[in-house]
Structure 1
Amino acid sequence: MLLWSVLLFSAVVSSGYGDDSEWREVKTFQGTVRGRKDPEGGLYGFYSIPYATAPRGKDRYKEALPGSVWLQTLDAVDKRIICWQAKTKYINVENQTMQEDCLHVNVFVPDTEKKKLPVIVLVHGGGFSIGYGNMMTTKQLVKEKKVIAVTFNYRLGVQGFLCLGTKDVPGNAGLKDQVALLKWVKKNIARFGGNPDDVTISGGSAGSLSVSLLMLSNAAKGLFHKVIPESGASVSSIAVQIDPLENAKTFAKRLNFTDVDDFHALKEFYKTTPLESLMLDVITPQKDVSMLFSACVERKTGGPVFLTENPLNIIKKGNYKKLPVLFGISNMEGSMYVDYFETWKNEMNEKFSDFLPIDLQFENEEEKEEVARRLKQFYFGPHPVNNQNILAYVEYFSDALMGYPTYRTAKLQVESGNKQVYLYEYAFVDESFPVVPHTSVRGASHCGQTMAVFDGIAFVTDDESSLSPEFKKMKTTMRELWHNFIVHGKPVPEGSPFPAWPAADANGNPHMSLDRTLELRGPFLDKRMQLWDDIYDKYYREPVSPPEPPPEKHTEL
């Protein structure tokens, strides 16, 4: 197999695309690309550049190969190519083309002659199973703050996160794609006017989990310099698969494959089934706060690795590069579970222990039920889960899903020597936001802070003209804070008009409340975190690597 393919692209006649002033050429190490000025001005967009090549067929789960090269100028226009994924209600993919080789990068460059501009690489979210690089844009940040923004696709779902612990299915392909992208940025971004020694990685949801994990991976060391995880932490029940082989079996059963206990038959099923047939919706929230496909602790098989140790242990040992981190959540992360309230409230009253996070383990059922009773009492008091305490339901899932993992990850990082962790809770709500059912209360939903930094209204439109004055002001504030961090490594540098924002200590103190006004507060989520700390100190369950595969059976002739 050729590692490098040479693609011949015909030069585009300028008269068909407007005058030459609308275009800017950049000579990358793969070939020359030509980006076009944005219709609204202020920046140039370079779309659909192949930063790596996704292996196909039976090699589809391996590390990506180098990107293609080309001899004639490539017009870097949006080809709308995305990685294979299930069609869900969350993201509209009707105008996109799914394909196996989908590893494309987009670069947004401000209209300036300045060089060595700071760079922000944005990792998209979507539960490691849906999404694509350009589903949300950052043009305002690029134009207003003169930074270069990079978005990209990475392999998703089965294609990106099946983890069997073999040479051909080692695991973490999607995260290795992210490393390949960062290497591409390191090598090429100076040619776009960016500074390869001033790169910030940022992401919301699964993108947040990704950048938290990239910070701990030796494979990504030295490729970035600041980190902004937005609603998602590396020490979390959804960040790393507790038992990847069991997950592979569970998913195969959903696809009507029954011979799941024959390891080699299971592997062959995943390698030979057409990729589009493996795309089931796995983004649905789970009672045990888990995901089927996420990172895994890899078994060493002789090839490149992303993660070979539990993130918690890496942080405790201090075996990672201590970088500035702007780290936080929105105040109603659990509102994403509201759609399941009418069903789950009854089930929580019948057996609350079914809703404990998957990364807790117990010696017996009595111990498990006691912890469940303790948590239910803390959040709901003596009352059953009902319409009157739906806000407690939201708070429980906010803490289990995002709040406590964020606190715990920050605490461990500070204890291991990172003195540059800045904590926040995003709390801004606009009158246009929906209320929580059975209440008149509004809250910032999952990744509310990400929505504020990105353009327009996420997934709907880039147009901000119809937003309320309050929302526009909040977006301006958030972009200023994020830009400060991208440039200075702290959200409020000296001389800033914002309130002083010191780094947090091991108790999560202080943290900033990001609302219409910024308010520095004490320990992050305080007593709620102390409760979870006590439980996890006693009952934490570590993720495991896939076991060594059994020897293949050979049929005698």
Structure 2
Amino acid sequence: MDNPVVSLKEGLIKGKIGKDHFDNPYFHFLGVPYGKAPIGELRFTAPVPVEPWNGIKDATQEGPVCASRHVMFKRYVGAEDNCLHVNVYTPQLPSDGNNTLKPVMVWIHGGGFLHDSNRREMYGPEYLITEDVVIVSVNYRLGVFGFLSLENPALEVPGNAGLKDMVLALKWVQKNIKNFGGDPNNVTIFGESAGSAAVHYLYLSPKTKGLFHKAICQSGCALNSWAIGCTNGTIIADYLNFKERDEGKILEYLKSLSPQKIVKALHRYDDTFTASRIRPFGPVVEKYVTDSAFLMEEPLEIIKSRKFNKVPLIIGNNSREGILAEVAKKVFGENIVGCSFEDEIYFYLKLEKGSEESKRIANKIKNFYFNGEDRSENNIEKFYLLKTDNMFLHGTFKTVNYQKEQTEVPIYFYEMTLDHPFSLFKSMCTPKFFYPTMFFYFLAYFVGPGRLNQIFLRLANLMPRKTLTGASHADDLSYIFKPLLAEKVRYGSDEEIYIKRFIKLWTNFAKSGNPTPNTNDPLLNYVEWRPVTKDQNCILDIGTRLEMKNYPHVERMQFWDSIYSY
């Protein structure tokens, strides 16, 4: 079969044919540009739509990662040129015999707003596309490039360029997705971790009205402490040892530097995921109005004033998100997750460390989670629980509680408890075998798909590991996408059933706004996933079976409510 060619508003593109999980063909178009290269005067500004081209553009190879540092290998990766692109996957192109449009699912990747990309090595479509949906995976600017925020309105760099990239990508979808067989009037945005927080910001922004019709937030929201940035011109200047304080001069200096030098400076100092410190580079409330203004009010105020996009929402977490903290500590160092109980106090409270009030709250946290004991290897599970609640669950809990009071559209709440047998993050939590495990994963990564890849993965997964309970942060991704670093799923295995169940819920929602429209479905255990009500936060427990429950963590969430006043 010849390579498929699709006509876009901007020009022609040529793609390739792949095979899904069941060996059925699908079409993929990789590195399709939606915005002009954000270089020169366009560096740090709102994106500009890509210009039309002549001839047929090759979309058979992945586009570049946006300029950043690889999270594991800690080396510069990517480029600025042509980094604003999407990957598009479709089970069927329009033809004379079939013009029925399919639901569209637009994926926003995670990575803390600093790392990762839309590449297939993490987000292969082979599982999800079996449910007859069109998938669009978005690349957006990261770190300083996507989240430089300056106070001087004359400079027109208020922040959120990375989020504005996503808005432009959604506009591209509206213009072009019909040509891939997708329905522009049935678009679901979904993401995980920072990608999930980005989805929530898109949900809250006035700039996205009409660009999507449903949303799925997996392990992140705008009310999480790590999902908020700040004005940062002088911060990056300090990282670069540039002594100038004038923002205009800082901006000109940044424009003169290579992306490699900027990325190196950005990672000269450790990032933080401690509640007590605001992250330097992330979404911000813009301080002055521009034509592209994305966010002009605090997220919670937008929710309270009913100004968000009122579309159906799935939102939830994994049961032990906090295992991420152990992994981050091993990769980036202790400071990224905090060393004391005072580090667990949200910076929003503006308490000085060492003050009587700060020490009082820290002691309250210590008593609640550790029964007054200091943190140690002997009570590490309690540490994971603390991080799960403070970094992830409480923000989600508050989001659901506030949004359900302001809208009648359904909010479907979930918790994933599937204990993944080959969890990458859990495998990194055993100190003695950390480096051997990573060695085999790196070998698998470099050799790529094939027999040798599977041998190295098997060796990595045979390494001894801590017996950790619950679903780690990012474990849900393995049930939606086919990553490079995953063992081959056996047909008919329990794992394949879990994958089928997960993608059935997600794609049912994308198709109809209801994740369980057919309660006679044995794959879904004959369960009806009911939305929350004003009086009750019912959740779907996504475990080895599906089960509706009352929200099980009320006492812990009320503890954090007693500390944080919203």
Tell me the TM-score normalised to structure 2 length: 0.83
Judge conservation of contact 1:283–1:291 (CA < 8 Å) in 2.
no
Residue-by-residue CA offset, 1:152-206 (whole Å, 9 max, x unaligned): 2111110110111334322111110100000000111111111000000001111
Judge conservation of contact 2:275–2:391 (CA < 8 Å) in 1.
no
Judge conservation of contact 2:84–2:140 (CA < 8 Å) in 1.
yes
Letter aligned with residue 326 of structure 2: V
* 1:460 paired to 2:485: yes
Residue 376 of structure 2: aligned partner: 386
Change (3 A) 1:339 1:203: closer
Distance in 1 (CA, whole Å) between partners of 2:156 and 2:545 is: 52
Change (3 A) 1:84 1:262: same
Judge conservation of contact 1:237–1:357 (CA < 8 Å) in 2.
yes
Q: Return the match for 2:35 from 33, 52, 60.
A: 52
Distance in 1 (CA, whole Å) between partners of 2:534 and 2:71 is: 39
* 1:140 paired to 2:126: yes
Q: Alpha-carbon deviation of 1:75?
A: 2.7
Residue 255 of structure 1: aligned partner: 240
Judge conservation of contact 1:54–1:100 (CA < 8 Å) in 2.
yes
* 1:443 paired to 2:470: yes
Distance in 2 (CA, whole Å) between partners of 1:70 and 1:36 is: 20
Q: Return the match for 1:492 from 498, 512, 516.
A: 516
Change (3 A) 1:87 1:341: closer
Please give the secondary structure, in 2, of the residue aligned with 1:398: helix
Distance in 1 (CA, whole Å) between partners of 2:467 and 2:298 is: 42
Q: Alpha-carbon deviation of 1:284?
A: 4.3
Alignment of 1:126-137 (within 5 A): 126-135=111-120, 136-137=122-123
Letter aligned with residue 37 of structure 2: A
Q: Return the match for 1:295 from 279, 283, 304.
A: 283
Judge conservation of contact 1:356–1:372 (CA < 8 Å) in 2.
yes
Letter aligned with residue 453 of structure 1: I
Change (3 A) 1:322 1:42: same
Please give the secondary structure, in 2, of the residue aligned with 1:298: coil
Distance in 2 (CA, whole Å) between partners of 1:308 and 1:284 is: 25
Change (3 A) 1:90 1:356: farther
Distance in 2 (CA, whole Å) between partners of 1:340 and 1:151 is: 25
Residue 195 of structure 2: aligned partner: 207
Q: Alpha-carbon deviation of 1:496?
A: 4.2
Q: Return the match for 1:375 from 365, 379, 385.
A: 365
Distance in 2 (CA, whole Å) between partners of 1:508 and 1:359 is: 28
Q: Alpha-carbon deviation of 1:90?
A: 6.8
Change (3 A) 1:99 1:348: closer
Change (3 A) 1:42 1:117: same
Distance in 2 (CA, whole Å) between partners of 1:283 and 1:494 is: 48
Q: Alpha-carbon deviation of 1:356?
A: 1.8
Residue 56 of structure 2: aligned partner: 73
Give the total of aligned pairs.
Answer: 507
Q: Alpha-carbon deviation of 1:414?
A: 0.3
Residue-by-residue CA offset, 1:14-65 (whole Å, 9 max, x unaligned): xxxxxxx332222110112222211554200011111111332243111111
Q: Alpha-carbon deviation of 1:440?
A: 2.5
Letter aligned with residue 89 of structure 1: M
* 1:472 paired to 2:496: yes
Distance in 2 (CA, whole Å) between partners of 1:534 and 1:506 is: 21
Tell me the TM-score normalised to structure 1 length: 0.85
Residue-by-residue CA offset, 1:335-385 (whole Å, 9 max, x unaligned): 11114669859x978x42133232333489222222211111111112111
Please give the secondary structure, in 1, of the residue aligned with 2:15: strand
Judge conservation of contact 1:425–1:511 (CA < 8 Å) in 2.
yes
Change (3 A) 1:115 1:454: same
Please give the secondary structure, in 2, of the residue aligned with 1:52: coil
Q: Alpha-carbon deviation of 1:534?
A: 2.2
* 1:353 paired to 2:342: yes
* 1:98 paired to 2:85: no
Q: Return the match for 2:540 from 503, 512, 520.
A: 512
Distance in 2 (CA, whole Å) between partners of 1:480 and 1:79 is: 27
Change (3 A) 1:92 1:46: farther
Distance in 2 (CA, whole Å) between partners of 1:90 and 1:149 is: 29
Aligned-pair RMSD on alpha carbons?
Answer: 2.6
Letter aligned with residue 265 of structure 1: K
Distance in 1 (CA, whole Å) between partners of 2:561 and 2:73 is: 33
Unaligned ranges ≥5, structure 1: 1-20, 541-557
* 1:63 paired to 2:88: no
Q: Percent identity at matched positions?
A: 31
Change (3 A) 1:225 1:340: closer
Residue-by-residue CA offset, 1:421-441 (whole Å, 9 max, x unaligned): 111111111333447659533
Residue 286 of structure 1: aligned partner: 273
Judge conservation of contact 1:205–1:232 (CA < 8 Å) in 2.
yes
* 1:36 paired to 2:16: yes
Q: Alpha-carbon deviation of 1:114?
A: 4.9
Distance in 1 (CA, whole Å) between partners of 2:420 and 2:288 is: 49
Distance in 2 (CA, whole Å) between partners of 1:79 and 1:216 is: 31
Distance in 1 (CA, whole Å) between partners of 2:248 and 2:553 is: 47
Distance in 2 (CA, whole Å) between partners of 1:139 and 1:223 is: 22
Q: Alpha-carbon deviation of 1:518?
A: 1.3
Residue 563 of structure 2: aligned partner: 535
Residue 160 of structure 2: aligned partner: 172
* 1:481 paired to 2:505: yes
Q: Alpha-carbon deviation of 1:396?
A: 0.8
Judge conservation of contact 2:76–2:260 (CA < 8 Å) in 1.
no
Residue-by-residue CA offset, 1:463-522 (whole Å, 9 max, x unaligned): 633699222221111011111111121222243433122111357611111110112111
Residue 329 of structure 1: aligned partner: 317
Judge conservation of contact 1:412–1:506 (CA < 8 Å) in 2.
no
Please give the secondary structure, in 2, of the residue aligned with 1:66: coil
Letter aligned with residue 369 of structure 2: Y
Judge conservation of contact 2:80–2:259 (CA < 8 Å) in 1.
no
Which range is displaced more, 132-141 or 372-381? 132-141
Which range is displaced more, 136-145 or 213-222? 136-145
Judge conservation of contact 1:91–1:131 (CA < 8 Å) in 2.
no
Please give the secondary structure, in 2, of the residue aligned with 1:140: coil
Residue-by-residue CA offset, 1:408-459 (whole Å, 9 max, x unaligned): 111111011244111111111133344765953333111222221111xx35
Please give the secondary structure, in 1, of the residue aligned with 2:288: coil
Distance in 2 (CA, whole Å) between partners of 1:403 and 1:511 is: 13
Which range is displaced more, 336-345 or 298-307? 336-345
